[in-house]
Structure 1
Amino acid sequence: MPRHEDTPTLDGLDIPDPADPESGIRWLTDRYAAGTARQAWERDGTPMSAAAAMEAVLADPTPTKEAAIAALALRRQLAEEAERLDTAIVDMARGRGVWWETIGASVGVSKQAAEQRHVRRTDAARARRRAGKATAGGRLRAWLDQHANALRLAAVRVALAGRELRAVNVPVATAMYHLETAEGMYGDADVLARARDLVAAVADAEAQAGPHPWDQVRLSAPAREAVDDLAKLVAEAPD
């Protein structure tokens, strides 16, 4: 890959080009990850979430030029994550009978503009979902046709508790990373598979907890509710 004129090096490795979010998140994880995030990175190569990495570099009072370039690489990814979250909010609102006029007013546009924007986003998401369903069996395809929106909304709710869940242990942190990646990039069958992995990782962590209160997996009420809702959906899905 051609080197950008501002691409510096550190320990002999190129710092990511601003257009390369994957290497940007990996560089920032290597620089800023601590606690369970550091363990997940060193053991499994699991990077931090883009939001956590950006918060870390912005909290650094003296970030290096290398850190700034790595942060620039995350701008597009963060914008895409914000768009997916916004789409999920609109889906939820429409599912509760909220009018397009109200949805448009929330961002200062007309109801027609709000609906057109949502259609553009959902058309692209449907194409990605269809690709993922092609390899699923008949019963699973039928289940995904009916429950895909609920599954993805549940995955988004879990992602909002991602920082808390990533702190549980390394397997949960790794499962969170793969679920967030699948929700943003892959089809519904992949999201379901990664959701199953996360639910199993949380259950394993709770089963392995020691007898003392400080050994227990303690989740906030919103995080617990999000995991439980995802677990219910996963349990209903056919293999």
Structure 2
Amino acid sequence: MHPAFVSPHEAVRLVSFLLSGAALLQDGEPEVDRADVTAALSLVPMVRGEMDELEAGLLQMARGRGMTWQEISFGLGLGTPQAARQRYERLVDRTATDPGAG
């Protein structure tokens, strides 16, 4: 990737950090404006789809390595193995049918 370009995820994070004060503008950089915020918001669905695919893949690999749903639920901060399995099933359904994913 060209160093002047950032991924959608990084663009959303950067705008968020700049707006919150967690990151500072470099000398000569323009302030974050409404167009920047609108652009970042428009990227959120794409970023969410990428994260869903990443999580679903990680869960598939965890199961492939023999991890139990109990172990996975702990890693996800969920209360029960059933909640972890249901989360996985929703992710798989969403990523399989989301035309904007990937």
Q: Shift of residue 98 of structure 1?
A: 0.3
Q: Secondary structure at the match of 1:104?
A: helix
Tell me how far apart the structure 1 counterparts of residues 96 and 11 of structure 2 sit (CA, whole Å): 29
Tell me how far apart the structure 2 counterparts of residues 119 and 101 of structure 1 sit (CA, whole Å): 15
Q: Shift of residue 86 of structure 1?
A: 1.0
Tell me the equivalent position of 2:87.
117
Aligned residues: 89
Q: Shift of residue 80 of structure 1?
A: 1.9
Q: Secondary structure at the match of 2:76?
A: coil
Tell me how far apart the structure 2 counterparts of residues 66 and 127 of structure 1 sit (CA, whole Å): 30
Q: Does 1:49 align with 2:7?
A: yes
* Larger gyration radius, structure 1 or structure 2: 1
Q: Shift of residue 48 of structure 1?
A: 4.8
Tell me the equivalent position of 2:60.
91
TM-score after normalising by structure 1: 0.32
Q: Shift of residue 125 of structure 1?
A: 4.2
Tell me the equivalent position of 2:28.
none
The answer to which structure, 1 or 2, has the higher relative contact order (CA under 8 A, 6+ apart) is: 2
Query: Percent sequence identity over matched residues?
Result: 29
TM-score after normalising by structure 2: 0.67
Kindly report the root-mean-square deviation, in angstroms, between the aligned alpha carbons of the 2 structures.
Answer: 2.9
Unaligned runs of 5+ in 2: 19-23, 26-30
Tell me how far apart the structure 2 counterparts of residues 84 and 73 of structure 1 sit (CA, whole Å): 19
Q: Does 1:108 align with 2:77?
A: yes
Q: Shift of residue 104 of structure 1?
A: 0.7
Tell me how far apart the structure 1 counterparts of residues 75 and 49 of structure 2 sit (CA, whole Å): 19
Question: When you count helix as a share of all residues, which structure comes out higher?
Answer: 1
Unaligned runs of 5+ in 1: 1-34, 39-46, 129-180, 185-239
Tell me how far apart the structure 2 counterparts of residues 119 and 55 of structure 1 sit (CA, whole Å): 28
